[in-house]
Each structure stands twice: as C-alpha cells, then as structure tokens.
Amino acid sequence: MKRRIRMGMVGGGPGAFIGGVHRMAARLDGKIELVCGAFATTHEKNMAMSEELLLPKERCYDTYQQMLDAEAGLPEGERMDFVAVTTPNSTHYPIAMSALEHGFHVVCEKPITMNADEAKKLAAKVKETGLLFALMHNYSAYPMIRQMKGMIAAGAIGTPRKIVSTYDLGWLAGANACKQAEWRVNPKFSGAVACVGDIGTHAQQLIEFTTGLKITEVAADLTTFVEGRLLDDDATIMLKFDTGAKGVIEVSEVASGEENQFKLRVYGSTGSLEWSQMEPENLILRTNDDAMKTLRRGWAGMLDEVKPFIRTPAGHPEGFIEAFGNIYLDFANALLARLEGKPYSTSFPTVDEGVREMQFIEAVVKSTGNNGIWTRI
C-alpha cells in the first residue's frame, strides 16, 4: 500500500538555516512527511518547534538518543523511516551511527564526520546493515550537474585534462561573523578544518562526481586571514588525478562581497563544460570548432537520467531548494521501491563519498603542514 515516507530530524531548531532547507526540500514533492524530531538542545526550543511544525509534542524529543529509542519502539505503521542529520559536524558520527544501529536509514549533512576513521566506520555499518545512507552534497543534485556528469561520461569533451573549481563567500570576512558561522570556525564542532570542510569538500565532491576521476594527490595551502580565528578561512589546493589530469580548488570564506559563488570548469581534450551555482540552469559547452552552447535545464538535449529531476519547463527557474529536494526525492523513491520490493537505482551521494571527503581533508591538512608538498590522499 502506498504511503508517505516518514522522516525524523536531528537539528534544525529555531533560526537554523540548513534545517529549514531540509524541511522545505523534503516537503516539495509530497512523498515525505516529517513525523518527529530532536531539533534543539533545550526542551523549550523543541516545544517551540512542535508548535511551529504542527508536530505532536510527544514526538519532539529532547535528545536524539531519546528519539531513536522511542521511535524504534513505535509500531511499524507509525515510526519514522529515516533520520535527517542536520547538526554541526562533530555530532554527525554519533547520531548517524546510532541511527543505523537502531535500524533507521539516514540522510546526513556534509562533511560526514570529524575524520576519515569515523567515516570508514559509518561506511562499514552501512554495508553491514544494508540501510540507505545519503550524504547531502546538494549541489550534485542540480539537474545541470547531472547533465554535466552524463555528458562527460558520454565523451562530450573527450578526456578530462584540467579541472578548476572556485568557491567564494564573503560571510566570514569580518571578525564578528553571524552566529551560524561561529561553530564552523570552532575546532570542537567543526574538526580539523573550517573553510575546507564547509565548502572545499563541496568542490572536491562535485569534481569527482561529475568527472568520475579520483584525486590522488594534493598540494595545499590553508590560510587564516582573520586574526584570532582558530581554523582556516581560505584555501588553495592543487590536484592530481588518477588519470594524469590536473586541477585546482580555490575556496575562501573571506571573499568580501561574494554570496555563494561556486563554479566548476572541466577542460577535456576536445571540449569543456562550465557550471556556476548562482546560475544553475545553465551548462556551457565550448569547443574549438563550434559556437559556444548554453544548455538549459528543461530545454533541448537533456539526458534521460536528468529528466526525473526536472520539475518545471525551461525558463521557469529552479534553484537551491529544488536541488536539495532532488536528494530527498531520490531517497524517498528508493525507500518506496524497497517497500514495494521493486528495484531502484539511486543517484544520491553515499557514505563512500563521505570517506573520500574526509581523506581529502586529511591530505590537505598534511600538505599544508609540510610546506605545500604533494601529498597522497
């Protein structure tokens, strides 16, 4: 019998930006229903969320442990199907691990954990349990990123040679950044890195996701520009890939005046593709012997695998929430297929990409500490 997939949430309390996005994204297609949560760290805030979200008080738990225990004890027709983990980095591992141990599927914010060790343990647990684990690398779910991935795989630009990704934000340019930024530059909550974990991993993941290449070595330079800050707020990372391709990731959170300027260019032997997050409906194809083409979401040339993630015709802009929603849509479809015993092939980022991102971070830190020398992932 058809039903909605039931979601529980950890994090996303009053004022949280990304938690709200998770909820909008999960609602968008009508396949997911939020049924419970441990949204915040105080009872009062959780009760406020109960009221805001029209959830029963008894399913707004004070801790994620309570939520996992209680929900696991509910009848099958009521209990949540999966947990969305939208807390600071430091708690991803214990929450996700415990959720898996309680038999719940997981959607987890990135970066997956505090280190590669934790990530590998999660990966092992996912394998062991056979549960679904989606890592919220939302940018990888933009339709034109899927188009880019498909076109590269199909040889549209020949062999990738040089990959350039830049991701620049201005929000940490000043010493007194907003509250949402605080935990991100605190090693206790963020881990060994700040900027590289927050946005550098987006670049690393999107590069590997779209090209299918693996980064094998990095030569990195982490910088802290704002005095007194304990972690990096800027980085440049040179890349070598398993095929001999080269690349560079440039990221900064002190890029004054930038909103969320994330760009990716892949140069191949016969052509190149360029995508920019702030104009996500475009994918630019250049070659040496034809006019520049701007492929547009929903217009001519869309690959079959992209079509399920298109909601409106070309020229009716889709954006960030819709891309986020694509991860949830894919995840919900996978769970629905399981319920119905049907095959389904997922395309969302998995725990394995979480392992990669942590290994990448560790190599970046090591190279920086070693005078920028090339360092293996």
Residues 313-332 that bind a copy of itself (CB under 8 A): 313-322
- Contact with a copy of itself (CB under 8 A): which of 14, 16, 24, 189? 24
Name the helix (H) or strand (E) containing 355.
Answer: helix 351-369
Q: Rule CB under 8 A: which of 163-192 touch a copy of itself?
A: 164, 166, 168-171, 173-174
Q: Which is nearer to a copy of itself, 160 or 191 (CB)?
A: 160
**Can residue 258 be called a binding residue for a copy of itself (CB under 8 A)?**
yes
* Torsion of Cα atoms, 64 then 73 then 327 then 331, to 10°: 160
d(CA 39, CA 351): 23
Give how far Cα 19 sits from Cα of 45, 63, 102, 136, 318, Å: 14, 16, 22, 12, 20
- Contact with a copy of itself (CB under 8 A): which of 61, 241, 267, 275? 267
**Can residue 35 be called a binding residue for a copy of itself (CB under 8 A)?**
no
Q: Which is nearer to a copy of itself, 30 or 343 (CB)?
A: 30
**Can residue 199 be called a binding residue for a copy of itself (CB under 8 A)?**
no
Q: Rule CB under 8 A: which of 288-317 touch a copy of itself?
A: 288-296, 298-301, 311-317
Question: Which segments of 170-289 does DSSP mark as H helices, in order?
Answer: 179-182, 187-190, 195, 201-211
Question: Taking Cα atoms as reference points, which of 159, 113, 100 lies closest to residue 362?
Answer: 113
Q: Rule CB under 8 A: which of 44-83 touch a copy of itself?
A: 51, 53-54
- Contact with a copy of itself (CB under 8 A): which of 14, 94, 150, 158? 158
Q: Which is nearer to a copy of itself, 68 or 323 (CB)?
A: 323
- Contact with a copy of itself (CB under 8 A): which of 69, 188, 223, 242? 223
d(CA 154, CA 304): 13
Q: Which is nearer to a copy of itself, 191 or 247 (CB)?
A: 247
23, 34 contact by CB (below 8 A): yes
Phi, psi of 105 (to 5 degrees): -70, 160
d(CA 202, CA 110): 9
Q: Rule CB under 8 A: which of 95-154 touch a copy of itself?
A: none
Q: Which is nearer to a copy of itself, 130 or 289 (CB)?
A: 289
